Chain A
Amino acid sequence: MSAPDRYPPLPETDPGLRQRNVALVDLLDRVLAGGVVIAGEITLSVADVDLVRISLRALIASVSSLTAEPATEPTAEPAGEREWEP
């Protein structure tokens, strides 16, 4: 799978970027992991899609880190290690 640093940088000044990121993550949850699974002749396997989802999230993360305000110390544990499992 692709390393996050391979991704081209995106513009960081888009004011709607955060909202758009959130919407994209919601979309990924559904479009890549949902929908009826039927075998096509050329079909992405579920494993592929999981990889894709992870790499896209890595992309979003790299964009988010560009736009995030200066980080404060996290006040709670990160929301879910299990996130990254298939």
Chain B
Amino acid sequence: MTYTWLYAIAPADTGTPPPDTPGGVAGEHPRTVGAGGLLALVGSVPAPDFDADLLQRRLRDPQWLEPAVRAHHRVVSATGGRALPVRFGTVYRDDDRVRALLTEHAEALRTALARVADRTEWGVKAYLDQARLDQARANEARTSGDAATDPGPGGPPDDRPGTAYLLRRRAARDRDTRDLADAAARARQVHLALTGLADRSTEHPPQPPEATGVRDPMLLNGAYLVHRSREAGFARAVRDLGEQHAPALRLELTGPWPPYSFVDLPTGDGAP
């Protein structure tokens, strides 16, 4: 016995997944179920493994979860960006219930599809670029003959090295605080500029250094829905903004993504 895992919902003329479509969350070959002028991209998953209890438990198992998340994403991506991605972990008892869902929510789903039609999602992350900032500062100090690093007449007396050390530490801390505030303000500007170029935008919480392995603080984790005709311009804008805000900020562009972050249903139950 199998259940039906739901990957995405697409317009009826999308066609069926080609044979070389990557396997789904259970290694199964994805297929489609049609109703209400829509196609659901689904997969048959073994019932006992995907019962509520077992599924909850497997979710806590990263060895299972990471490949499953990647498989879900691969199948969603295989639609060539024509589909509404469905939240990971949406499972039905059988295909008939999926057909019922398509029929029941046809209007809302079509509206949501129209909102993302011919558009893809792009991610832009901004980090404080501490290394380049320090490098730029060091270069500046060298070219200006070290005058910038001279503490001047207000500096500590030479006979009190402990005090000098503490003052240097405090100055460095103040500088870091200013750097972070400046970079954060720049990240806001980047987000506003990119929002102006996108149909819609949203922000994910910044990813902590512990999760990314990148020590520099992340100051923006933006998502932007961009029409295909404006993709090149958007990428160019990200590059230009990166140059404009260097060395304080480092920008990272990811995408194109299926429009995961822009699929709110106008009506219907369960919409966020």
Q: Which residues of A contact B (CB under 8 A)?
A: 1-2, 7-8, 18, 21-44, 46, 48-49, 52, 55-57, 59-61, 63-65, 67-68, 71, 74-80, 82-84
Contact = CB atoms under 8 A, between A and B. Distances in A.
Interface string B126-151: 00101000000000000000000000
Nearest to B5: A40
A42 B205 contact: no
B217 A79 contact: yes
Contacts of A49: 87-89
Nearest to A19: B213
A2 B60 contact: yes
B110 to A, nearest CB: 12
30 contacts: A21-B211, A21-B213, A25-B212, A30-B223, A30-B258, A30-B261, A31-B73, A32-B69, A36-B263, A37-B270, A38-B269, A40-B97, A44-B87, A44-B90, A48-B56, A56-B66, A64-B212, A75-B130, A75-B176, A76-B217, A77-B217, A79-B207, A79-B208, A79-B217, A79-B218, A80-B205, A80-B208, A80-B218, A83-B205, A83-B207
Q: What secondary structure prevails in chain B residues at the interface with A?
A: mixed
A79 B223 CA distance: 18
A36 B112 contact: yes
Contact of B206 (A1, A27, A65, A79): A79
Contact of B69 (A22, A27, A37): A27
Contacts of A42: 3, 50-52, 55, 91-93
A35 B56 contact: no
Interface residues of B, number: 72
Contacts of A27: 69-70, 73
A24 to B, nearest CB: 7
A25 B88 CA distance: 15
B219 to A, nearest CB: 7
A26 B213 CA distance: 13
A35 to B, nearest CB: 4
Contacts of A40: 6, 90-92, 97
Nearest to B204: A29
A44 B6 CA distance: 12
